Structure 1
Amino acid sequence: MGRAEDRRARQRGGRRAAPRRSSATPAAGVAGGRAAARRAARGGRPRKSGIRRLFTWKKLLGAFFGVCLLGIGTFIVLYMMVGVPKGNAVAQQESNVYKYSDGSILARSGKVNRESVSLDQVPKEVQHCFVAAENKTFYHDSGIDLKGTARGLLNTLTGKGTQGGSTITQQYVKNYYLNQDQTVTRKLKELVISLKVDQKMSKDDILAGYINTSYYGRGAYGIQAAAQAYYRVDAKDLTVEQGAYLAALLQAPSQYDWAVASDTGKTLVKQRWNYVLNNMVKQHWLDAGKRQTMTFPVPKDPQGAPGLEGQKGYLIDLADKQLEAQLMKQEGISQSQAEAEVVGRGWTITLNIDKKKQAALESAVKRQLTSKLDPKERKVDADVQAGAVSVDPKTGGIVALYGGEDYFKHYYNNATRKDYQPASTFKPVILAAALDEGATTQDGQPINANTIYDGTSGRQVVDHGTKVGFGPPNEDDVSYGNITVQTAMNKSVNSVFAQMGVDVGMQKVMDVAGKLGMDTEGMQPVPAQTLGSMGASPLEMAGIYATLDNHGKKVTPSILKSAQNKTRTAKIDDPVGDQVISRQAADTVTSVLTGVVDDGTARTSVRDNPMRDGQQVAGKTGTSDEDKSAWFTGYTPKLVTSVGLFGEDAKTHAHTSLTGATGLIPGTGRINGGGYPAQIWAQYTFGVMDGTSKFDLDTTQGAAVQPSWTPSATQSPSQTPSQTPSSPPPTTSRSPSQSPSQSPSESPSQTPSQTPSSTPPSSSSRPPTDGADGGPLLPDDEGQLDGRQPNR
């Protein structure tokens, strides 16, 4: 029956009769029949829904063409209304003014370093370097990159940051006619002006304008200033290799400046340099054979600008960098754009630097260290560099900073450099991680100030019965036997903290380090990091200890108090943030660190200092392998200061040993964290403190609230329930019972403020053990310089 109906439907024009439906009433049947008739009249198609009637393909196509016409019309109006403005690149350059926290003038940035040159004074191959780096189609395009501009507009509208893919013409327009503002209006103006400039100016004139208005870092605007700043030559004498480096710089001037770049920055700028030259080969602007013979042209060391002598240059350098970071975050601009917006743009920048504290810190470094250096008498004295940062833990403000002997003599800021190991100043981070994470030993006992560990020198670290292949020696290879965590911190016992790091879990340790303020990006969570084998700066360490001092609330040290110019006021982030570790964990670490001062490696320089006047102090010493760096980071309730000494070859800038500096006996007179760094810290801190202060600690552990003690040599950790044993110690050649004089013992007659464990024997030799970097992994200071500094 169905097939017959189909045939009849086809004969009637393709319409199939509607099937009969039963109805309850005749009226319903009639209505159904009428509906069927109407459907048959429409060819059997069902009625379209409201949405389908609204969005037909004709309407969508019409809307699309309408939007296109509207856009074209808008662009035509813009094109007619927006003219090419008068160039303002030079007019925008104004001196920045920098002030101390009290409003008095620190410095003015001085005259902008700019000198324009005509394009015929720039070698043709050097010109091609910039085209190859930024815009390979420059000589053939219309001056705009529609895709890049559209992407930039979309990113601006959605708040995703900066655009990419601008042509050289667009960048020139932005530098010379407009500004770096990330607004839709500015981007549309850039598009229109770029089209008009490309029509009115030759490509050579545009290129000349671009390379003469771009910012290259080191305060240099334009290729002539850049050639002098980086290679001490005029632009006309630049080689292709040098030109490729300057072209590569434009992507991130400060990050790619070879003199101050990190290892990552150096890798990136070399990659960019190779990219430029390889593009030149592809464009047939450079012979492939010649390209293969080219080597990277290392720039010359920077020279400070007039008016930035002494410490001024270091202070201004950090202020500029932190302001650039604020602008990048708030306005979504790139690093190179932020630098161009800060240098010479008429900012009035007030710093958190306290004039009196700054003078006191400079005086302390001079009196305790630099006055004792005599490079003519001892070559090693020329290799000693000092850096320090002092922070108010309640506000997060940097109140004093020491970047080096003189900004003119040593451009690299020692206060912010991250290329030296913080050594044992990292140990409190391990303890903070253990306490905050509620970590336990291999035996499942909680880790706290009284937990007992095996302090045998060179003891192999064990992870649940498996040796991990790491067994660091202690200072002078001294073994301590079973000691508490408190005593291990006092004596800076490497073997204890190496095991503790594995007990906590190195990933957790590095996570907590990141929370406290250390830049842990790219760091591997390996046991060697327990000895502070990563790189860190005095600025970072001051921030970490300030967070501990501030009861676990994050402190990100800031030198900026305020910043504004004619067009805007920068919003300065609050340096004090959220709670990143528990107050109890932070306060317990502080309590433990008071023992380092009163009964440990800093006692000679800090505890017994006549200027102390009852101040309660917490801190930690540190000395890296081969004595290449020495540290003391310490704090009172009101002030945190990190002092670092770094061995840097005066000619090659390579890391070198500090041993023998200031006339200390070579081989035995090592520069320790408990020596000069602690002495600088003590003179500065005790000299600027206004009254005695005590820590307000929420803890029942540590030297600040209970005596520092250790078990006797014959006492087994498992025999004392109140003591927390660590994992079973491995068999050693020298057990505590075999050498009682070398084992810490508890002395009932010792007072709580002076509760040292037994003094380990000294040794003049260091064992040649393998370090994490392939060199000796020498432990720490950690011992005093008593009798070893005849010239002090």
Structure 2
Amino acid sequence: MGRAEERRARQRGGRRAAPKSSSRAAASGSVGAGTTGTTGTRASRRAAASRSSGKGGIRRFFTWKKLLGTFLGLCLLGMGAFIVLYLVIDIPPGNALAQEQSNIYKYAGGKTLTREGDVNREIVDLDQVPKPVQYTFVAAENKSFYKDAGIDLRGTARGLLNTLSGKGKQGGSTITQQYVKNYFLTQDQTVTRKLKELVISLKVDRQRSKDYILAGYINTSYYGRGAYGIQAAAQAYYRKDAKDLDVAEGAYLAALLQAPSQYDWAAASKTGKQLVKQRWNYVLNNMVEENWLDADKRDAMKFPVPEDPQGAQGLDGQTGYLVQAANNDLAKRLVADGSANDMDDAKAMVDAGGWTITLNIDKKKQAQLEKSVKDTLTSKLDAKKRSVDGDVQAGAVSVDPKTGKVLAMYGGVDYTKHFTNNATRTDYQPASTFKPLILAAALQEDAKTQGGDPITAKTIYDGTSKRPVVDSDGNKVGFAPPNEDDRNYGDVTVQTAMNQSINSVFAQMGVDVGMDEVMKVAGELGMDVENEQAVPAQTLGTMGASPLQMAGVYATLDNHGKKVTPALVASAEHKDHTVKFPNPIGEEVISREAADTVTSVLTGVVDDGTARTSVRDNPSRDGQQVAGKTGTSDNNKSAWFTGYTPGLVTSVGLFGEDAKTHAQVTLQGATGTLPGKGRVNGGGFPAQIWAAYTFGAMGKVTKFDLETDQGAAVQPTETPTPSESPSSTPSDEPTTKAPTTSAPESSPESSPEETPSGEVTTSEPVETPSSPEIELPGDPDDPQTQ
């Protein structure tokens, strides 16, 4: 066969020609056999080729190069996606819950009065936490905290996988990540939240210091017992501030964060106690390993068993009144210093929380005042027997006249039962407790009588009941107030008139001084007279006033004429704001001689006047010198005693308030112990409360340092000389009119009452206002038999 034929044979057979070494004879063998063999071989080769082609295709698809490329591609895709997330996700503002704090209220001595707010948290700066205590949290949660970039990739990946697989919460996050979760995000276990946590943690770590992050972490974490943040936790578990924690205590609080409920020693099971002890040891051992704690000190440490949990402190009792008054004072100060635009803004700032407000309240004196009110008054009230007993409200304020500090405040029976603070309310008349201000104005202005005589403690006035008041020209001014029981005293000294609270004398004195001058001096001493009319009826105390105001007025007298503005709040601090309060002691508003003379005169009210039974004869007095004034308003709607020693001024007020409608009503017949269901006078319960409190709260016995030659403190008190009996017969019902040009035509109200001489009478005057808006009070201030 030639070469051409061989080539054609190869083309037909689809294979290479036989090697040239093969003999042509063999190639030209039996044609039949060769044909059959060629067909079988061709089928066999096609099957083998098919098998070889299948294996080669899989290998070509899953080659190591393609797998590596795919992996790198996914990594690049993931990195690209993360970069996009990093660029898109910003550090958000802190969530509202993480920023909520309670306000902390403290007594003057530093002990906590209460906390107010939905979240028990008080954020503290990191420098308020001892450095070794800071390390306990790092040792417990994230030893590499000071070195890492804020994230734990393995822990985060594990958390993501568990989230995707439905296994729930997974630890392993860094302190930075936990802070970001607490402060910026939520506790939701989602892939989206995990990714955000990762990105924000990286950014926070780059933009904030480690100390900032650690402070945020320990202030936002939950420690159990309702305590958020280390300060609240320190108080909840060890009754101390965070700054006073030691390492062992800090290690326990750090250990708590892993399982607050399970590890709370007071509620933990036997297993829980074992676990928290193991966790506590783990924390301390890590500190030694990191050279944050000396090994010998660590070996000497004992497990610090926490205090038992306390009941939640609320606003019941007097606490709510103190908190309410403190908040109001702080809000006013925020407006005054420009921190807030108005009271609404200021109150919102206070309600936002985070304030530590220290009050001037003395814890012991506060307890003494509460006890005095209870023992003397509230324990005797029984609204089931006498409906009037349910209408009795008491308020009191005690002030240090040398510092202006409010040392005690009684706002009512219970803040959760009666929300109005009786110590600060100004809707009741102070009645005859206003009379000393008239005398102060007379002395300050060197005023004279109609006859041209200087007004002093010895000046003689006509004490006739209903005597028409006249001006400097001798003209009647349309005001002629009756005395108590319509009693006529004839000519009496100013001292006697103060002792017996003679209305007719002080009504005329007010006109002699000039009512404009009287109101001016009253305002300078501390009364709120801005919207009050300068009319003769004001001489009987017809304006509204509070025990807080009256305590300030009398404290100014006690302080020799230097203005005293009662201060309830000593300081208010916020993490971002410290408020400065003005000095409660101001400049001299009346001369020392005028102030001291009034004080001297007021000692006569106690020793020879309307407060003698409750105060002078109190067995606990022990020779203590006292000045004060009683007051009982028209229809017995209020009764007062404001008195003072050289170191303590206290104003006590009783108010008749309908328990349902809150309208002003009479106090008459309260406790059912008064003769003939008589009045509740200023010389009765108010003076008794005052004496029980003052003589129990004061220290050593003291005397007034007075620069005056007038008044009962330096001269004997003259005895009043009553004149004839009332010329008119009193009616059963009072008539109140508003004369402007003529004497009043009102008749006294019938009510048995003990007079200064001890005689029980059956008539009771009702004074007349000078205008329809002003209710003229009577002045039955005599002590009563209880």
Q: Does the TM-score normalized on the shorter chain lie above 0.5?
A: yes
Partner of 1:310: 317
Q: Give the drift of 1:777.
A: 3.9
Partner of 1:323: 330
AA aligned to 2:490 is G
Confirm whether residue 391 of structure 1 aligns to residue 399 of structure 2: yes
- The separation in 1 between residues aligned to 2:722 and 2:362, in whole angstroms, is 50
The answer (yes or no) to whether the contact 1:95–1:347 under 8 Å persists in 2 is yes
- Correspondence for 2:422 among 414, 421, 433: 414
Confirm whether residue 566 of structure 1 aligns to residue 564 of structure 2: no
- The separation in 1 between residues aligned to 2:530 and 2:379, in whole angstroms, is 38
- The separation in 2 between residues aligned to 1:604 and 1:697, in whole angstroms, is 25
Q: Aligned ranges for residues 628-667 of structure 1 at < 5 Å?
A: 628-665=637-674
- The separation in 2 between residues aligned to 1:558 and 1:768, in whole angstroms, is 36
Confirm whether residue 443 of structure 1 aligns to residue 451 of structure 2: yes
Q: Taking structure 1 as the reference length, what is the TM-score of the superposition?
A: 0.58
Q: Give the drift of 1:86.
A: 2.3
Confirm whether residue 783 of structure 1 aligns to residue 782 of structure 2: yes
AA aligned to 2:392 is V
Q: Give the drift of 1:762.
A: 4.4
Q: Give the drift of 1:709.
A: 1.3
> 1:73-130 CA distances to partner (integer Å, 9 max, x unpaired)?
xxxxxxxxxx9962655444310111111101100013169xxxxxxxxxxxxxxxxx
Partner of 2:71: none
- Correspondence for 2:503 among 491, 494, 500: 494
What SS does the aligned partner of 2:549 have? helix
- The separation in 2 between residues aligned to 1:419 and 1:394, in whole angstroms, is 28
What SS does the aligned partner of 2:581 have? coil
- The separation in 2 between residues aligned to 1:775 and 1:576, in whole angstroms, is 32
Q: Give the drift of 1:442.
A: 1.1
Q: Give the drift of 1:580.
A: 0.6
The answer (yes or no) to whether the contact 1:476–1:762 under 8 Å persists in 2 is no
Q: Give the drift of 1:779.
A: 1.9
Confirm whether residue 94 of structure 1 aligns to residue 101 of structure 2: yes
AA aligned to 2:761 is S
Partner of 1:371: 379
Change beyond 3 A, Cα 1:332–1:526: farther
- The separation in 2 between residues aligned to 1:651 and 1:712, in whole angstroms, is 45
The answer (yes or no) to whether the contact 2:429–2:543 under 8 Å persists in 1 is yes
- The separation in 1 between residues aligned to 2:572 and 2:616, in whole angstroms, is 40
The answer (yes or no) to whether the contact 1:389–1:642 under 8 Å persists in 2 is yes
What SS does the aligned partner of 1:331 have? coil
Partner of 2:4: none
Partner of 1:380: 388
- The separation in 1 between residues aligned to 2:722 and 2:538, in whole angstroms, is 30
AA aligned to 1:532 is G
Partner of 1:22: none
- The separation in 1 between residues aligned to 2:99 and 2:494, in whole angstroms, is 59
Runs of 4+ in 1 over 3 A off after TM superposition: 87-92, 664-668, 710-714, 757-762, 767-778
Partner of 2:695: 686
Partner of 1:595: 604
Q: Taking structure 2 as the reference length, what is the TM-score of the superposition?
A: 0.58
Change beyond 3 A, Cα 1:679–1:768: closer
Change beyond 3 A, Cα 1:596–1:768: closer
- Correspondence for 1:626 among 624, 630, 635: 635
Point out the more displaced range, 639-648 or 777-786: 777-786
Q: Aligned ranges for residues 752-763 of structure 1 at < 5 Å?
A: 759=757, 762-763=760-761
Point out the more displaced range, 348-357 or 326-335: 326-335
- The separation in 1 between residues aligned to 2:743 and 2:482, in whole angstroms, is 15
- Correspondence for 1:346 among 351, 354, 359: 354
What SS does the aligned partner of 2:545 have? coil
What SS does the aligned partner of 2:763 have? coil
Segments of structure 1 that go 5 or more residues without pairing to the other structure are 1-82, 114-176, 178-304, 715-729, 733-756
Partner of 1:25: none
Q: Give the drift of 1:572.
A: 1.4
- Correspondence for 1:582 among 585, 588, 591: 591
Partner of 1:122: none
AA aligned to 1:617 is V
Q: How many residues align?
A: 478
What SS does the aligned partner of 1:385 have? strand
- Correspondence for 1:428 among 436, 442, 451: 436
Change beyond 3 A, Cα 1:342–1:768: closer
AA aligned to 1:453 is Y
Q: Aligned ranges for residues 235-274 of structure 1 at < 5 Å?
A: none
Q: Give the drift of 1:774.
A: 7.0
- The separation in 2 between residues aligned to 1:461 and 1:761, in whole angstroms, is 28
Partner of 1:770: 768
Q: Give the drift of 1:784.
A: 2.2
Change beyond 3 A, Cα 1:310–1:769: closer
Q: Aligned ranges for residues 101-120 of structure 1 at < 5 Å?
A: 101-111=108-118
Confirm whether residue 524 of structure 1 aligns to residue 537 of structure 2: no
Partner of 1:510: 519
Change beyond 3 A, Cα 1:731–1:485: same
- The separation in 2 between residues aligned to 1:395 and 1:103, in whole angstroms, is 18
Confirm whether residue 538 of structure 1 aligns to residue 547 of structure 2: yes
> 1:656-678 CA distances to partner (integer Å, 9 max, x unpaired)?
00000100457652100000000
- The separation in 1 between residues aligned to 2:756 and 2:93, in whole angstroms, is 79
Confirm whether residue 454 of structure 1 aligns to residue 453 of structure 2: no
- The separation in 2 between residues aligned to 1:563 and 1:705, in whole angstroms, is 44
AA aligned to 1:573 is P
- The separation in 2 between residues aligned to 1:651 and 1:560, in whole angstroms, is 32
AA aligned to 1:785 is Q
The answer (yes or no) to whether the contact 1:382–1:650 under 8 Å persists in 2 is yes
Identity value in percent = 66
- The separation in 1 between residues aligned to 2:484 and 2:97, in whole angstroms, is 59
Q: Give the drift of 1:326.
A: 1.2
Partner of 1:281: none
The answer (yes or no) to whether the contact 1:768–1:776 under 8 Å persists in 2 is no
AA aligned to 1:560 is V
The answer (yes or no) to whether the contact 2:756–2:783 under 8 Å persists in 1 is no
What SS does the aligned partner of 2:683 have? coil
Change beyond 3 A, Cα 1:479–1:668: farther
What SS does the aligned partner of 1:387 have? strand
> 1:421-477 CA distances to partner (integer Å, 9 max, x unpaired)?
000000000000000111111122110100000000111100121101111111111
Change beyond 3 A, Cα 1:775–1:668: farther
- The separation in 2 between residues aligned to 1:471 and 1:90, in whole angstroms, is 64
- The separation in 2 between residues aligned to 1:357 and 1:768, in whole angstroms, is 38
AA aligned to 1:784 is P
Partner of 2:483: 474
> 1:459-502 CA distances to partner (integer Å, 9 max, x unpaired)?
11001211011111111111100000000000000000000000
